[in-house]
Amino acid sequence: MKTTIKTAIIALLLTVTYNFTKAAEPNANEKLTMRYAIAAYVDAFAHGRFDGLAEVVDDSAKFSQTRGQKILSFSKNDILESLKGQQNVEQNCKTTSQIVENTGNLVVYKVQMKYENFARINYVTMTDTGAGWKITNVSTVFN
C-alpha cells in the first residue's frame, strides 16, 4: 500500500512540475504582435525551431542574400523548404536583435548572428497588415 501511495505522489509531482515548466503556447492575440514575429524568425534561424515561422512570413515576402558580387533571391516557399533540414539545429553563434526603424506600421529589425569567424546580418522588415505583423522582406549580408 505504501508503494502505491508513493508512486501516486511521485506521478502527481511529476505532472504538476511538467505543467508549470512547459512553455505556454502563445494565444491568438500574441501571435499577431511584432515581438512574436521577430521571435519566430530568430527561433527558426538561430535555434532550428520553426513553430510559427510560416504564419508570420507574408506569402509575398522576399528574401535576398548578398554573397560577394552576387545577390541571391528567394521566396517564402524557398526559405521554408531550405530550413527543413535544419530542424532543431542550434547555430553556434551569438544572436542579437534590435529595431533600426519604426514608423508605426512598418518596422526594420537588425538581427545579427555572430559566429567565430564571420557575422550574418539580417535586416528583417515587418508590416502591420491589420491582421497581425508579417515579415515582408529579409536582406542578408555576411561580414
Q: Predicted confidence band at 84 (pLDDT cuts at 50, 70, 90)?
A: confident
* pLDDT reported for residue 16: 42
* pLDDT reported for residue 32: 79
Per the CB < 8 A criterion, the answer to whether 45 and 53 are in contact is no
Residue 69 three-state SS = coil
* pLDDT reported for residue 26: 61
* pLDDT reported for residue 61: 96
Can you tell me the distance from the alpha carbon of 75 to that of 11, in angstroms, rounded to the nearest whole number?
48
Per the CB < 8 A criterion, the answer to whether 63 and 74 are in contact is yes
* pLDDT reported for residue 21: 42
| pLDDT above 70: residue 99 | yes
Per the CB < 8 A criterion, the answer to whether 52 and 46 are in contact is no
Can you tell me the distance from the alpha carbon of 123 to that of 63, in angstroms, rounded to the nearest whole number?
10
Mean pLDDT of the chain: 85
Domains and CATH numbers, the chain: 30-142 (3.10.450.50)
| pLDDT above 50: residue 11 | no
Per the CB < 8 A criterion, the answer to whether 68 and 118 are in contact is no
Can you tell me the distance from the alpha carbon of 135 to that of 128, in angstroms, rounded to the nearest whole number?
9
